[in-house]
Amino acid sequence: MNDTPPRTMSAGECWQALREHEFGRLAYRLLGDVHITPINYAVDGDALLFRTAQGNKLLSAVMHEPVALEIDELGSEDAWSVVVRGRAEVLGETDAQRAEQVPLRPWVAGDKDSVVRIVAVEVTGRRFRLSKPWEHIVPTS
């Protein structure tokens, strides 16, 4: 049995993980409902950028609703998770050109003309040592 408690990641570790990855799950609220959707993103200083088309994500950003982005990694013995909480804002044309300076390219076809910035208010992360005892059970005959 693994008795190692989860370890809190430093802000630096969290931002390093965010820079090393580009896929996460965006949670946002719109008209009283909570939505979650996968997105690809890029780190720009102390903010995250993503591209989107017309739709719920863009409307939520226009309304400056709070958002959260979660990334994680699961190994055979360890796992970690980072959560960014903040506000989303649609960038104007001049600021949207910043997206060309970071590795932010749509993963799926379609017009993703709007660039949204998530200004981080809180960044947290935890590392876990996994205990999966069922993987070590040896069947008896």
Which domains occur in the chain, in start order? 7-129 (2.30.110.10)
Residue 96: the pLDDT is 66
Residue 118 has which token pair?
């998530």
Residue 1: the pLDDT is 52
Element containing residue 133 per DSSP (H, E): none
Residue 137 has which token pair?
């059970």
Residue 67: the pLDDT is 93
Residue 141: the pLDDT is 63
- Spatial separation of the C-alpha atoms in residues 79 and 57, rounded to whole Å: 28
Residue-by-residue pLDDT tens, the chain, 141 positions: 557 788 999 999 999 999 999 999 999 988 888 889 999 999 998 899 988 877 777 777 777 778 999 999 998 888 999 999 999 888 887 776 767 777 777 666 667 778 889 999 999 999 998 876 555 555 666
pTM of the entire structure? 0.82
- Spatial separation of the C-alpha atoms in residues 55 and 37, rounded to whole Å: 12
- Spatial separation of the C-alpha atoms in residues 48 and 42, rounded to whole Å: 6
Residue 139: the pLDDT is 65
